[in-house]
Structure 1
């Protein structure tokens, strides 16, 4: 499952993507300084957009920790979506790529093969997430997962939920059923290349 993703585009480009979708972004904690990052890893702080209650078409861009701590002290960085209806605390995790790792075909290699997935024809995409308040780390977010779509299935038996652009505002509106938005992308929606 996804334990590494990236965001290499500038904040202005991210805001522009939301403006094109008629989603107004505000910065309740001030405009964040978002640096280009090839690797955002578990426990890192990263930008998310969360909905504003009672204000459809508006989101708050903030930075929060990726993962909260489970009762067994393990990080909760992925969360199964099946059989659940997320009626509060939804967020969009902004990315321009995510990584999956596979066992190398060359048995002499010590490291796993690293694969970069990007949304075909889109500079950024949104991963469906949820956030929560915790005693140990404050507010934190996690990525939702589902059965893999056709582009990810050859590399992993699960995948993160990548929302279609037209569904971003719906995901931020907790009155829209989550099950209606969580579905695999059509074949060819993701490009993949081996990196590292």
Structure 2
């Protein structure tokens, strides 16, 4: 499953995008200094969530410790509703890994999935308090769409921009919002290992 993604947008760019979607952002922790980078499990990264003062942009840790101590960075959405803790994880692209095409290669092949128009992806997620770590988030997964199926048996739950508000405010069922993406929703390209 997805254990690496990229985020290159500044806080101003993200705020402008959400303002254009009719959801002005509040930044309760101040304006975050977001550096363009790949984000790995346990890194801090920007998320958007519903808060007491409106739609909030905050930076939180990706993954919380599971019962055995392993990080919970992906979480199955199948047949679940998620009445609280919904968030959007902001990404320019996410990566999946496959067995190396060269049998002599020591590393897996890496594939980058992104929006065909280069736009920002909103990945459905959950945020919760992780004792000893503060708040943390995880990405929700669903069965793969045709773009991801050749590379992995699951995909992160990417939501179209029109679904961001109902996801965040809980006005729509998770079952109605999360599912495989239609063909052509994602561009895939080989990425450097």
Bin the TM-score by the shorter chain. over 0.9
* Residue 123 (structure 1) aligns with: 119
- For normalisation by structure 2, the TM-score amounts to 0.96
1:40-189 map, 5 Å: 40-52=39-51, 58-189=54-185
C-alpha distance in 2 between matches for 1:9 and 1:60: 16
* Residue 192 (structure 1) aligns with: 188
C-alpha distance in 1 between matches for 2:30 and 2:51: 16
* Residue 28 (structure 2) aligns with: 28
Partners of 1:69 and 1:136 within 8 A in 2: no
Structure 2: segments with no counterpart, 5+ residues: none
1:122 positional shift: 4.1
**Residue 18 of structure 2: SS of its match in structure 1?**
helix
Partners of 2:123 and 2:156 within 8 A in 1: yes
What CA RMSD, in Å, does the superposition of the two structures yield over aligned residues? 1.1
C-alpha distance in 2 between matches for 1:84 and 1:48: 21
Structure 1: segments with no counterpart, 5+ residues: none
1:15 positional shift: 1.4
**Residue 32 of structure 1: SS of its match in structure 2?**
coil
1:13 positional shift: 1.6
Q: Runs of 4+ in structure 1 displaced over 3 angstroms?
A: none
Partners of 1:129 and 1:144 within 8 A in 2: yes
